C-alpha cells in the first residue's frame, strides 16, 4: 500500500514538473533569455531553442503529461482504490458499497492532490520566475524531445495540419505593443525598480516618435527674433534682453537665418567690430508635419542644433532645437509660461489643462482616446478640431465620457480648458 502511494506521489510530482516546464518556457521573455545566453549560459540557449519551436516542445510536454496521467489513473483506481475497498469490506461494509467508496474516494483524493501538487503550485512557481525555471528544465526537456523525436514529429505535423485546416497556419503575433511596454514600466515603478522621474522620461521617449515638428517646436508668436537691419548695438541688446545664445533674423514675414552669440564673441576677440549681416548663418528648414525622429536627424547633421519650421504654404511657424527634444523627454527647462504645470487635478475630480499641453501627454494622463485622424499636437488643437471653429469663453464640447470647457482665452489662443467627466 505504501509503495503504491509513493508511486502515485512520484507520478504527481513528475506531472507537476512537466506543467511547470511548459508554463516557464512559454512565459519566458526572449530578451531576458538572450541576455543570459550572451553572458555564457548554454541552458538559456537551449531554452530559447525550445521556445522558438513551440510545436515540438509542447508535443514533448503533452506526451509526458499523458503518460503520467494514464499511469496515475491506473494506480489510483486499480491498485489503491481496490485496497481501500478491501479494507472497507473487511470492516463490515457490503462489497458493493466498499467498492464505490473505496475506488471513488481514492480517485477524488488523488485528483485533488494532482491538482494542487501536479498543476497549481508548479505553475505558480513558474510564473514567479519563468526565465530561471526555463533555464533549469531546458536540458532535461531537450533530451526528452530528442528521445521522443518520432512521436513528437508526428504530433507536431498533425497539429500544424489541423491549424492549417482551421485557417491558423500563420505565425502568431509576437510583437510588443506600446501598451505592453507601459504596463511593464508601471510594474517596475510599483516594485520600486525605477524612480518616478525615470518612468516619466521613458514615457517621454516613447511619445517622442509619435510627435511631429509642430508638436515639438516653439511657436512663432513665442520666438524671440531680431530685425535683419538691426545694427550691432541693437543685436547685442536683443541677446541681453532675451538671454538666448541664438536669435532668428526676421525680415518681414520671413526668417533669413540666425545670429549666434558665440560668433559675435569670436569676432570681437579677433579683430574690429563685426558687421551683423556678415555673421548671419543659414539654418536648416523642416516641415511642420515632419516626424520628430526625422527632425532629430536634421539637427544631428548640423552643428547649430537649430531648425526653422515651415508649413506647406511656406509660412514660418516656429523653431525647433535640441533643447525641445530634451524638454519633451524630461519636462523642459525653460523659464517661461511652461513653468506652470500643464495639468492640475481639482478637488471635485475635474482637471484644469493648459492649452499648450501636448496631446499625447494629455491622452496618457486622462485616458482619453483621441481620434487618430486629427491633425493637432496640443490640447488647444484638439478642442479646435472638435468645435471646428474658434470657441467663445465658457463654451464647451462633449467627447466620449468627457466635457471640455474653454475657461481662458489669450487673444485667439485657447489658454485653459476644464476637463470633467460627464459620467463615471
Measured distance CA(206)–CA(323) in Å, rounded: 17
Find, among 336, 380, 341, 340, the residue nearest to 358 by Cα. 380
Give tens-digit pLDDT for 379-403.
Answer: 888 899 888 888 889 899 998 889 9
The Cα–Cα gap between 131 and 185 comes to 19
pLDDT of 405-420, one tens digit each? Answer: 999 988 888 989 999 9
The whole-chain average pLDDT of the chain stands at: 82
Q: Residue 82 and residue 79: Cα distance in Å, rounded?
A: 5
Q: Span 313-326, mean pLDDT?
A: 89
Residue 337 scores a pLDDT above 50 = no
Grouping H, G, I as helix, E, B as strand and the rest as coil, residue 133 is helix
pLDDT given for residue 170 in this prediction? 55
Q: Where are the beta strands (DSSP E) in 145-292?
A: 218-219, 226-227, 246-251, 254-260, 285-287
Determine the average pLDDT of the residues in 147-159. 81
pLDDT at 335 over 50: no
Q: Which helix (H) or strand (E) holds 274?
A: none
pLDDT score recorded for residue 79: 63
Please give the pLDDT value at position 169: 61
Cβ neighbours of residue 109 under 8 Å, at least 6 residues apart? none
Kindly state the percentage of the chain with pLDDT values over 90.
Answer: 15
* Bridge partner list, 416: 354, 408
| pLDDT over threshold 70, residue 58 | yes
Contacts (Cβ under 8 Å, ≥6 apart) of 49: 142
The Cα–Cα gap between 402 and 106 comes to 60
CA angle 23, 24, 27 (to 5 degrees): 80
**Predicted confidence band of residue 240 (pLDDT cuts 50, 70, 90):** very high
Reduced to 3 states (helix: H, G, I; strand: E, B; else coil), residue 388 is coil
Alpha carbon dihedral 12, 16, 19, 23, in 10-degree steps, equals: 170
Residue 175 is classified by DSSP as P
Alpha carbon distance 6, 76 (integer Å): 11
Position 78 scores a pLDDT of 59
* Short-list 336, 350, 349, CA closest to 417: 350
Amino acid at each position: 500500500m505504501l509503495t503504491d502511494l509513493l508511486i502515485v506521489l512520484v507520478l504527481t510530482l513528475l506531472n507537476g514538473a512537466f506543467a511547470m516546464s511548459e508554463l516557464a518556457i512559454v512565459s519566458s521573455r526572449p530578451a531576458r533569455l538572450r541576455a543570459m545566453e550572451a553572458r555564457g549560459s548554454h541552458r538559456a540557449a537551449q531554452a530559447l531553442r525550445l521556445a522558438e519551436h513551440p510545436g515540438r516542445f509542447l508535443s514533448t510536454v503533452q506526451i509526458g503529461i499523458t503518460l503520467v496521467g494514464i499511469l496515475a489513473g491506473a494506480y489510483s483506481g486499480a491498485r489503491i482504490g481496490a485496497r481501500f475497498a478491501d479494507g472497507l469490506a473487511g470492516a463490515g461494509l457490503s462489497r458493493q458499497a466498499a467498492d464505490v467508496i473505496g475506488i471513488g474516494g481514492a480517485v477524488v483524493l488523488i485528483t485533488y492532490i494532482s491538482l494542487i501538487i501536479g498543476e497549481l503550485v508548479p505553475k505558480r512557481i513558474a510564473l514567479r520566475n519563468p526565465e530561471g525555471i526555463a533555464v533549469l528544465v531546458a536540458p532535461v526537456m531537450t533530451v526528452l524531445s530528442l528521445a521522443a523525436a518520432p512521436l513528437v514529429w508526428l504530433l507536431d505535423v498533425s497539429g500544424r495540419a489541423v491549424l492549417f485546416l482551421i485557417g491558423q497556419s500563420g505565425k502568431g503575433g509576437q510583437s510588443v505593443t506600446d501598451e505592453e511596454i507601459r504596463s511593464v514600466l508601471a510594474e517596475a515603478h510599483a516594485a520600486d525598480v525605477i524612480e518616478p522621474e525615470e518612468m516619466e522620461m521613458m514615457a517621454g521617449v516613447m511619445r517622442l516618435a509619435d510627435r511631429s515638428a509642430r508638436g515639438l517646436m516653439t511657436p512663432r508668436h513665442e520666438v524671440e527674433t531680431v530685425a535683419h537691419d538691426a545694427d550691432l548695438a541693437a543685436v547685442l541688446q536683443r541677446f541681453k534682453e532675451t538671454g538666448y545664445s541664438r536669435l532668428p533674423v526676421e525680415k518681414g514675414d520671413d526668417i533669413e537665418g540666425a545670429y549666434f552669440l558665440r560668433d559675435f564673441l569670436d569676432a570681437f576677440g579677433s579683430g574690429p567690430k563685426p558687421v551683423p549681416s556678415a555673421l548671419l548663418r543659414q539654418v536648416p528648414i523642416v516641415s511642420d508635419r515632419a516626424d520628430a525622429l526625422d527632425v532629430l536627424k536634421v539637427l544631428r547633421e548640423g552643428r547649430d542644433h537649430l531648425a526653422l519650421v515651415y508649413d506647406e504654404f511656406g509660412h514660418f511657424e516656429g523653431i525647433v532645437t535640441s533643447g525641445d527634444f530634451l524638454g519633451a523627454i524630461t519636462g523642459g527647462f525653460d523659464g517661461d509660461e511652461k513653468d506652470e504645470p500643464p495639468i492640475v487635478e481639482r478637488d471635485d475630480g475635474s482637471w484644469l489643462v493648459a492649452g499648450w499641453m501636448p496631446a499625447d501627454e494629455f491622452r496618457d494622463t486622462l485616458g482619453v482616446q483621441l481620434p487618430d485622424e486629427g491633425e493637432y499636437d496640443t490640447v488647444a488643437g484638439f478642442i479646435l478640431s472638435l468645435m471646428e471653429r474658434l470657441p467663445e469663453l465658457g463654451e464647451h464640447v462633449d467627447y466620449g465620457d468627457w466635457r471640455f470647457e474653454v475657461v481662458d482665452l489669450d487673444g485667439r489662443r485657447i489658454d485653459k480648458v476644464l476637463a470633467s467627466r460627464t459620467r463615471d
